[in-house]
Amino acid sequence: MEKNPSTVENAKEKLDHWLKQGITPVGGKLPSERELGELLGIKRMTLRQALLNLEAESRIFRKDRKGWFVTQPRFNYSPELSASFQRAALEQGREPSWGFIDKSRVSQFPQAAAPLLSAAASEELYCITGWGALEGHKVFYHETYINPQVAPGFIEQLESQSFTSVWEKSYNKDVIIKKLAFKPVRMSGDVSKFIGGSSGMPAILIEKHRADSHGNIVQIDIEYWRFEAVDLFINL
């Protein structure tokens, strides 16, 4: 029996053929759903389901209010290493960019940041938020917490230096990663908007605890990575 051309399976096959032909390059934007449906002869609702299926397979990804894009190669990430995102990306032949969203003192912070209070009592923490991108597509959002009693003036020194450089040059501390935690999550709208996603978008949460030579936790990073953008490796 001939397949019904309106089925999701058949629509997915047509989209798969489109992707394999390279009509839209890696990282490129697909035509709008209306245009794509007309080009491939697929009904709108059937096309949407086929696109969602390909998204679940990490073949394509969405940007809120910007449409569908062809997935880029995954970033190989070893979170236990101290190498910066920039350095790791350049070593993989990628084009990294990044930026800060906010740098401030906060009196309300997640429970995950509580270990920072063990080194010194404080009613506030520094909170630094930012993003990282590859080839112009934002792939992760981060929140970094630091105790201002341990590192007074830290946020004022971040303009042209990495976190590691600030610790070394300004506080004479060699900081190492002491703890890593991983969790699949659904991103809230407040977080996902910074990397072009929508509320409920699946992501990989990585929590890093960084310690000084005495074992004191001095920095906690909470990273949200787009699930289709990263492969995680731990070097033993």
- Whole-angstrom CA distances from 142 to 64, 102, 130, 164 are 19, 11, 5, 16
Say how many residues make up the chain: 236
Tokens 């303009």 identify what position? 159
Q: Which CATH class is domain 75-232?
A: alpha beta
Q: In angstroms, rounded to a whole number, what is the distance separating the alpha carbons of residues 209 and 218?
A: 8
Summarize the confidence of residues 16-39 as an average pLDDT: 90
- The helix-helix angle for 8-21 and 44-56 (nearest 10°) equals 60
pLDDT above 90 for 75: yes
Q: Which residues belong to CATH 3.40.1410.10 in the chain? A: 75-232
User: For the chain, what is the mean pLDDT?
Assistant: 90
Summarize the confidence of residues 58-79 as an average pLDDT: 90
Cα 54 to the center of its chain, rounded Å: 20
pLDDT above 50 for 2: no
Q: What is the band of 147 on the pLDDT scale with cuts at 50, 70, 90?
A: very high
Q: What is the pTM of this model?
A: 0.87
Q: CATH for 8-70?
A: 1.10.10.10
Q: Which residues belong to CATH 1.10.10.10 in the chain? A: 8-70
Q: Which residue has the higher pLDDT, 49 or 159?
A: 49
